[in-house]
């Protein structure tokens, strides 16, 4: 029933902006029905609703305007009669007479009173879900997000009616909303030409076009750029033949921006060149549903795919990261790993600390002469640790032999003061900086 509140909020914003006083029913008739259903291609398919229940010989794409008006009247009659199952009121139980059917979602076991206005608001709200890859959608109640999504409806209708896009299938409003929001909040958006740089279409096997689903990271990076100092709560769900409700999830927008900000700060000379390739790499370690199960969407949810295998566990040896500027894609991935680790540590000073530690280890190895292999093994033992006690024991052996003891002693103090959960991330950051400096002369100063 969350759709009711979302729809009511949009109606309030619409009336304010247009200086109108439309009721939910008026808005549904004047705006929603006209955009979504009064055409040969629908923008939304609500299972078992009057708009999709066809008489013998009828097809949605061949209905006359009179027939579409009849279906609208049929919906009005059912709402007026007090019917509120999922085919009449979006997000309500599939059947109130049978209590909660298995296909119900967004419902409560508490007895709740719903008005006719609530039912119309549920329809309005249902068109504001933001679809992301993985088959899930998000409701946000923030005014800017709601109005941005709402203003995108008209463009979706124009595409569906455009003869150039005859093969474009309809009924993808949530998918459209995700693509539109991602586009409007992107760096490529131009208000004077809203559709410039916008291509959300993909081919369908056998012919035709459909909207491709935006990744959850592209949507959230866009929102976090537009609302950088805001934390939002979203409602994550899926409505279909089988409904799914993940519930209310906090979205930590400042955290979501953090890895990108660090990339720009640390690698400013390359940022603008790499920008479009950076964002798709974050948040690829697991699905959006898995990210929601963490309890909140923040830095942790943005873990890049492939990094986990480079984080030491303290058990088996882990390969060092491969640093090579020759392969541009791997080089960019290397940097996204570094920025995510630093964002997780939430302390920018640890970038230099990790670099100084890496240089100290390399200098320690270089000063060994014939015993270099032995020293390299000791450094490897330090970098393969994952916990404080292990790290301190292995580091102590190196400190005894090292010429540059001060840097290593300070490193030990830093790790000792560090929260236990951060130690493996910090050691991994040292490993990345070690791999980076291994490709340079040892005497080169830390950047």
Percentage of the chain exceeding pLDDT 70: 93
Query: Looking at residue 32, what is its pLDDT?
Result: 98
Closest CA to 79 of 29, 22, 21: 29
CB 305 within 8 Å of CB 285 = yes
Residue 320: how many other CB atoms lie within 10 Å: 15
Query: pLDDT tens digit string along 126-168?
Result: 999 999 998 999 999 999 999 999 999 999 999 999 999 999 9
Query: Looking at residue 445, what is its pLDDT?
Result: 39
- Give me the mean pLDDT over the 427-434 stretch: 97
Pick from 10-14, 294-298, 442-446: least confident: 442-446
**Res. 324: pLDDT tops 90:** no
Average pLDDT, the chain: 90
Going by pLDDT thresholds of 50, 70 and 90, the confidence category of residue 308 is very high
Q: How far apart are CA 254 and CA 81, in angstroms?
A: 47
CB 210 within 8 Å of CB 83 = no
Query: Looking at residue 439, what is its pLDDT?
Result: 76
Closest CA to 259 of 309, 200, 304: 304
CB 384 within 8 Å of CB 318 = yes
Closest CA to 427 of 390, 372, 377: 390
**Res. 82: pLDDT tops 90:** no
Going by pLDDT thresholds of 50, 70 and 90, the confidence category of residue 295 is very high
- Give me the mean pLDDT over the 305-329 stretch: 87
- Give me the mean pLDDT over the 206-224 stretch: 95
Domain ranges of the chain: 2-249, 306-438
**Res. 64: pLDDT tops 90:** yes
Query: Looking at residue 109, what is its pLDDT?
Result: 61
Q: How far apart are CA 251 and CA 59, in angstroms?
A: 42
Query: pLDDT tens digit string along 367-426?
Result: 777 667 889 999 999 999 999 999 999 999 999 988 889 999 999 999 999 999 999 999
DSSP secondary structure letters along 45-78: --TTSTTT-PPTT--GGG--HHHHHHHHHHHHHH
Query: Looking at residue 107, what is its pLDDT?
Result: 57
Query: pLDDT tens digit string along 236-263?
Result: 999 876 778 899 999 999 999 999 999 9
**Res. 432: pLDDT tops 60:** yes
> pTM for the full model?
0.90
């Amino acid at each position: 029933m969350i759709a009711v509140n979302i729809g009511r909020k949009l109606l309030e914003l619409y009336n304010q902006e247009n200086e109108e006083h439309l009721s939910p029913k008026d808005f549904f008739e004047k705006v929603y029905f006209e955009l979504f259903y009064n055409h040969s291609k629908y923008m939304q398919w609500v299972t078992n609703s009057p708009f999709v229940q066809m008489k013998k010989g009828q097809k949605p794409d061949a209905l006359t305007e009179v027939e579409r008006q009849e279906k609208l009247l049929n919906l009005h009659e059912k709402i007026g009669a007090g019917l509120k199952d999922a085919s009449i009121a979006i997000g309500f139980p599939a059947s109130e007479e049978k209590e909660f059917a298995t296909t119900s979602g967004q419902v409560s076991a508490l007895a709740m009173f719903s008005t006719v206005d609530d039912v119309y608001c549920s329809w309005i709200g249902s068109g504001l879900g933001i679809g992301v890859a993985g088959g899930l959608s998000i409701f946000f109640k923030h005014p800017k997000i709601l109005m941005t999504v709402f203003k995108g409806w008209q463009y979706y209708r124009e595409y569906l009616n455009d003869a150039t896009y005859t093969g474009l299938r309809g009924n993808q409003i949530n998918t459209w909303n995700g693509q539109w929001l991602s586009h409007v909040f992107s760096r490529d958006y131009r208000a004077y030409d809203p559709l410039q740089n916008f291509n959300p279409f993909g081919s369908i096997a056998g012919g035709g076009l459909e909207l491709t689903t935006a990744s959850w990271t592209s949507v959230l990076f866009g929102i976090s750029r537009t609302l950088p100092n805001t934390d939002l709560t979203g409602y994550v769900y899926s409505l279909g033949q089988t409904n799914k409700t993940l519930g209310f999830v906090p979205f930590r927008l400042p955290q979501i921006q953090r890895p990108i900000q660090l990339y720009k700060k640390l690698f400013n000379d390359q940022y603008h060149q790499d920008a479009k390739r950076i964002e798709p790499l974050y948040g690829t370690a697991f699905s959006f549903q898995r990210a929601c199960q963490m309890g909140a969407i923040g830095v942790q949810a943005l873990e890049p795919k492939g990094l986990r295998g480079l984080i030491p566990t303290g058990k088996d040896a882990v390969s060092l990261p491969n640093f090579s500027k020759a392969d541009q894609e791997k080089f960019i991935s290397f940097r996204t790993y570094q920025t995510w680790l630093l964002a997780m540590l939430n302390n920018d000073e640890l970038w230099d600390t990790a670099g100084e530690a890496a240089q100290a280890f390399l200098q320690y190895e270089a000063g060994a002469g014939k015993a270099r292999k032995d020293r390299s093994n000791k450094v490897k033992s330090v970098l393969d640790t994952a916990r404080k006690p292990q790290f301190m024991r292995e580091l102590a052996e190196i400190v005894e032999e090292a010429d540059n003891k001060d840097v290593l002693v300070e490193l030990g103090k830093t790790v000792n003061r560090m929260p236990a959960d951060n130690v493996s991330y910090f050691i991994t950051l040292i490993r990345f900086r070690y791999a980076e400096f291994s490709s340079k002369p040892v005497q080169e100063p830390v950047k």
